[in-house]
Amino acid sequence: MEREVRVRFAPSPTGPLHIGGVRTALYNFLLAKKTGGKMILRIEDTDQNRFVPGAEDYIRESLEWCGIELDESPWKGGPYAPYRQSERKPMYMQYALQLVNDGHAYYAFDTAEELEEMRERLKAAKVATPQYNAITRMTMKNSLTLPEDEVTKRLESGDPYVIRLKVPRKEEVRLKDMIRGWVMVHSSAIDDKVLMKSDGMPTYHLANIVDDHLMKITHVIRGEEWLPSAPLHVLLYRYLGWEDTMPEFAHLPLLLKPDGNGKLSKRDGDKLGFPVFPLRWQDPNTGEVSSGYRESGYLPEAFTNFLAFLGWNPGTQQELFSMDELIQEFTVERIGKSGTRFDIQKARWFNEQYLRAKPDSELAGYLIKALEEHSISTTQEKAEKIAGLMKERVSFPQDFWKEAEYFFVAPEEYSEKVASKKWNSQSVAVFEDFKNELPSLENFNADTIKELLLNVLERHGMKIGQVMQALRLAVTGAEAGPDLMHIIEVIGREETMQRIETAISKLNSYVSE
């Protein structure tokens, strides 16, 4: 009988959640939902020195914003609570002691100074990677080298110690990764990792394995940076007698800088002007503020769609996927092995597509909200018309105000470039007649406005292309925009007449004698 799929996202509360972490959470979530399984969140806070206040709340809010729903978590609870490793502290020592008793781990009493001396000796001997391993352990102060009675005495007297894994000296450790296939590492390349620290807290390696086993995790999808630790984890599963229920592993490719050279970092985002965190973050220690995708105007569904494609593809030309569609199409096998370049322009493109797909009634809400901040009121109907005209020209919700301000505020300045080229006595004569005849229009709409303009132009022997840019300048102050006749319809008859009159007055110096 197949086991229920159970996946987990296990961040550390050491600061804001990097978008690479959000992608890891997303892929776990998609697999869980695709298979009818469970998505678990576990807070890995064994390193209390790196704990940052507010980080856990940030993780929770980020996942909620992205639409990543949790079945079990510190906040929701579940059958395998608690879901914070610091609250599970009492249970880890028994497994460490089991490893010691079975001969797979040992007590080490080395001081920090002694460890440093060992590393310096190895460096002097030209050892490329100095480490505490099957060879060097025999020169150190541990339960493998000390007499049994001395070990007992040290433990009973409360001497500080750690528990280290006893890695075999000559053994091939094999691991089948769902993305990369078989991975083989020689045990000589693995050091005797600390499993229990001197403060009684487990390290990531032990706590991670114990928790995944006890929480019945079936698949571990995590970043590529954990691949070097995977053989060590395989040994732990084997030594604890859990190899038969060991989860399947999938190590995700790195998110790379836009130029492809190296892992994407906060510094890259700061330098190139884009966020690397889902939400805005203020460091509680320094006060430094980092931008977030939410506050920058990205829609959560666009952000999630964009993230899904950073390493995965559906095997088709389709790019726009709802969360339900992503769940339906997602497979781990379609995740690539190589790193993925981060492309902020593609993120922007996704946002534009999702904005344009929204009904005008919803887009109007963004505009109305911005207008309220500027103490300007309007009707829902007018806001919807403007949103419909502008949605092909915006990338973010806040752009509706930037792009549509002239619908509510008459221009005070005009483009000198357009005025110097297009504003002349002939166009002014057309605008004078056009303005004076606007009151005669019985139905004031884009079609009748255009018909009137064409009639006036015909009388003056001119073509519409000769005056359109100058007329747009007079009405909006802008060089470009959506259909001008529709703009005039929305702005209204009286306001349009006033703006033309003002422009004729202010741009008089450009009229040739």
Return the active site residues.
266
Helices marked H in 190-343? 204-214, 230-239, 266-272, 300-308, 323-329
Please enumerate, by residue number, every residue annotated as part of a binding site.
266
Secondary structure element (H or E) that encloses residue 256, with its range: strand 255-256
Which DSSP string corresponds to 155-220?
A: HHHT---EEEE---SS-EEEEEETTTEEEEEEGGGS---EEE-TTSPBPHHHHHHHHHHHTT--EE
Please enumerate, by residue number, every residue annotated as part of a binding site for ATP.
266
161, 108 Cβ separation under 8 angstroms: yes
Distance of CA 76 to the CA centre of its chain: 23
Which DSSP string corresponds to 85-113?
A: GGGGGGGHHHHHHHHHHTTSEEEE---HH
279, 292 Cβ separation under 8 angstroms: yes
Give residue 277's region: left, alpha or beta (phi > 0; psi -120 to 50).
beta
Q: What is the DSSP letter of 281?
A: E
**207 vs 83, 191, 423, CA distance in Å?**
12, 18, 74
Q: How far, in Å, CA of 460 to CA of 288, rounded?
A: 62
DSSP 3-state of 407: helix
The strand pairing partners of 340, in sequence order, are: 255
First vs last C-alpha separation in the chain: 92
